[in-house]
Amino acid sequence: MNDAGFPRVDDEPADRADGPSGLRAPAPVDPDSYGAVAVLWQPKPEHVDHLERVRAACRHLIAVDNSPQADAALHARLRARGIEVLHNGNRGGISGAYNRGAAALYAAGREVVFLLDQDSQLGADFFDGMMRACARARADGEAFIVGPKVFEVNLGRYLPVFAPQPRMPKPERIDERRDGLVPTLFVISSGSAVSAAAFARIGEFREDYFIEYVDIEYGLRATRNGVPVLVNAAVEMRQQVGQYVKRGIFSTSNHVAWRRYYASRNAVHALRSNASRWSIHWLIELLTLHQVACVLVCEEHKLRKVVAITVGYFDGLFGKLGTFEQRHPRVAAFCRH
């Protein structure tokens, strides 16, 4: 164990036989070296039960409740089980929740903060496996972001990585990888671990993005600032985004219209903002057209969603960020019905 509470890199099972199998027993992870932020949004009972299971594996857990109204009974129940609760009321969206929770944990001395959704599906050894990966990443510097290997339930496959090569990043399948750290341009926020040094160097998550592409923008910003972003192939996490619908060659997560606005706008803004570093700006029109095609083929409320995507596209093009309601109150009201 090193001074920061990480297992040493040379503590990995390798060269010293301690157990009957002849393999070294892994060094224990200091439970005070890390914490987790779980973002809540009008959680259901199963989400609360899941959060309590996470608390059993993570000593320092903060639930940031983004629900519009504070639920005093829920908050009391969580605090009684050792979970710190912050009511954020959706200020700054999911970015604001991450920023409030992470700041509190870093201020309390945590070296690594995990970001979780209320329905993140974690294995029993998730934190131990991820912290060992963090120890390996830390051997090359204090600043790093490490995410798990993600299996998307709706798609029935693992998400690829995008190697941070100059100009033209290409997707790389890692389905068969079972160990090691794989460099990538970004990881999804759920399940990811951000070191204190990385957060200090990169800065906060963009609250003017509110939701959608928050993690992609953060990963691209991390790479620009020399912070390695890595996927830990030894730890898997299952996720399920939206209500999956597939018709022919088209498939969609079937998100509501207002989320389509943020997805369209933030994709345009994030990709345009990084066009000088990577040749990814050509994806803007492709992603927008793909969203429209999926809505027209697979989804209900087509007019509202196409309007939201179109307005989002032009807002992203001209850098008009902030909340949908602040930017276009009448259009936002139309898209919420």
Based on the domain organization, do 26 and 91 belong to the same domain?
Answer: yes
Based on the domain organization, do 215 and 271 belong to the same domain?
Answer: no
Q: Which of 201, 216, 239 is the last residue of a domain?
A: 239
Task: Look at residue 44 and tell me if it is in a domain.
Answer: yes
Task: Enumerate long-range contacts of 153-162, CB under 8 Å, 24 or more apart.
Answer: 153/238, 153/239, 153/240, 154/240, 154/241, 154/242, 154/244, 154/251, 154/253, 155/244, 155/251, 159/188, 161/185, 161/231, 162/186
Based on the domain organization, do 90 and 33 belong to the same domain?
Answer: yes
Q: Which of 239, 256, 279 is the last residue of a domain?
A: 239
Q: Which residue has the tokens 């498939």?
A: 251
Q: Are 193 and 306 in contact (CB under 8 A)?
A: no
The domain that holds 142 is classified in CATH as 3.90.550.60
Based on the domain organization, do 163 and 40 belong to the same domain?
Answer: yes
Mean pLDDT by 10 residues, the chain (337 residues): 57 43 66 98 94 96 98 97 98 98 99 94 93 96 98 88 84 94 97 99 98 96 97 93 69 85 96 84 82 89 96 96 97 91
* 116 three-class SS: strand
- Each residue's pLDDT tens digit, 129-157: 999 999 999 999 999 999 999 998 888 88
Based on the domain organization, do 299 and 206 belong to the same domain?
Answer: no
Based on the domain organization, do 303 and 235 belong to the same domain?
Answer: no
Task: Look at residue 161 and tell me if it is in a domain.
Answer: yes
Q: Give the C-alpha separation, 313 to 307, whole Å.
A: 10
Domain that holds residue 290: 246-335
pLDDT recorded at residue 6: 65
Q: Which of 239, 262, 294 is the last residue of a domain?
A: 239
Based on the domain organization, do 234 and 329 belong to the same domain?
Answer: no
Q: If you compute the radius of gyration of the chain from its CA atoms, what whole number of angstroms results?
A: 20
Task: Look at residue 3 and tell me if it is in a domain.
Answer: no
Task: Look at residue 4 and tell me if it is in a domain.
Answer: no
Task: Look at residue 1 and tell me if it is in a domain.
Answer: no
Based on the domain organization, do 221 and 300 belong to the same domain?
Answer: no
pLDDT recorded at residue 275: 85
pLDDT recorded at residue 15: 38
Tokens of 228: 């390695």
Based on the domain organization, do 224 and 250 belong to the same domain?
Answer: no
Based on the domain organization, do 73 and 222 belong to the same domain?
Answer: yes
Based on the domain organization, do 81 and 222 belong to the same domain?
Answer: yes
Based on the domain organization, do 295 and 190 belong to the same domain?
Answer: no
pLDDT recorded at residue 283: 76
Task: Look at residue 2 and tell me if it is in a domain.
Answer: no
Mean pLDDT of the residues in the chain: 90
- Each residue's pLDDT tens digit, 263-289: 999 999 999 999 888 877 777 888 889
